[in-house]
Amino acid sequence: MTRNTVRVWSVVHKWTSLISTAFMLMLCITGLPLIFHEEIDEALGTHGVYEAPPLGTPTLSLDTMLANALAAREGEIPLYLSFDEDRPVVNFTTGPTPAATADEMHFAGFDWTSGSALPPFPEGGVMHFILHLHVDMFMGLPGMLFLGFMGLVAFAAIVSGVVLYAPFMRKLDFGVVRVSRSSRVKWLDYHNLMGVVTVAWLSVVTLTGTINTLSTPIIQLWQADQLSEMTAPYKGLPPARAEASIQEAVDTALAAAPGMRVQFVAFPGVAYSTEHHYAVFMQGATPLTKHLLTPALIDARTGELSAIRPMPWYAQALLLSGPLHFGDYGGLPLKILWALLDIATIIVLASGLYLWLSRRRAPATDPVVAQLRDRPVLAPAE
């Protein structure tokens, strides 16, 4: 690699790192508790107290469950229906209209065997604050898209850092930490070592995080593309109400996709459905395929199957990126690994920031200053 080429990569690495580091530090710090959000919610009692019925207890009809949910929310209509994976609980989201905002929606869980309402989920709290800070910095879609751009900038810092690391390490053994040198030299070596160790994980987390920020545009693309194509025969017809049996709609969808289970149902008029259908979203049974959804559109008037088609590749990429981003594929062991790599990334970021800020106070003969002058060593985060 020529000196001019190194200089160009150094400029790229310098500015992409400086631009993204503060935001990446925030994402790493807030992402750490989010990796264990299920365990933290359980410890804090966020899910409420629930004693599961004996195994094999018969469940009620979904029509009965829906009637119970609507009786508790007079004047509202059903928007979504979902199922807990590890307990017989049916969740209903209701609101005043299909276009209800998140603040206007009401979420409630019901025991599928008795029909009784479960204790309400506490609103707000520290995990709610951390989640919103991590997802959109309390700015909605503009905040999400901004963080997505920061993710691309961070990925450019990762690539440029790897390119620059190779010629730098020709003079040293791989992974060496010069413990006998000054603290600045040691931190430089720790920074480079941890950066290389986490580079693959960091690239995956950064790219999946960027994909997650595009969830709204991706769903809108699916609606305008395949969902519109699947419902072409209904174009021009007046909107339908939820007239057909929701239990029969779910049974019809499952019959069309043997071996799958229902993850959630979107009622007519909401974002994930059409004005004429129940959209029954089904998932596979394995840790991987349970994140790959297949929607079946059931006519809300007649209960007949209108269409069934797997989500397109770009929507499937979005569905897979979420659990991969937070390490939700392999249970607690994978979450612990994700947490350790997250902590290592925080150290990479903090040490890079320290090396950059302290370079102005160090003497001109400091070897670290010389290296930073030619090759800033900030690295990005998730």
**CATH number reported for the structural domain that contains residue 114 in this entry:** 3.10.450
This prediction has a pTM of 0.80
Q: Does any domain span residue 109?
A: yes
pLDDT recorded at residue 13: 86
Cα–Cα distance, 312 to 294 (Å, whole number): 10
- pLDDT 10s per residue in the chain (382 long)? 677 887 888 889 889 988 999 999 999 999 999 999 888 877 776 655 667 788 788 999 999 999 999 999 999 999 999 998 888 999 999 999 999 988 899 999 999 999 999 887 666 678 889 999 999 999 989 999 999 999 999 999 999 888 887 666 666 665 566 655 666 777 777 777 777 778 889 999 999 999 999 999 999 999 888 898 898 889 888 888 888 999 999 999 999 999 899 999 999 999 899 999 999 999 987 766 788 899 999 999 999 999 999 999 999 999 889 888 888 776 788 899 999 999 999 988 888 887 787 765 555 444 444 454 444 434 433 3
pLDDT recorded at residue 165: 73
Domain span at 100:
55-121
Cα–Cα distance, 18 to 379 (Å, whole number): 9
Number of domains in the chain: 1
How far from the centroid of its chain's Cα atoms is residue 58's Cα?
34
Q: Does any domain span residue 67?
A: yes
The amino acid at residue 130 is I
Q: What angle do CA 146, 147, 152 make, to 5 degrees?
A: 100
Q: Does any domain span residue 181?
A: no
pLDDT recorded at residue 218: 93
Q: Does any domain span residue 107?
A: yes
Tokens of 375: 């090759």
List helix spans (H) across 169-261.
Answer: 183-197, 199-212, 215-222, 228-230, 246-256
Q: Does any domain span residue 78?
A: yes
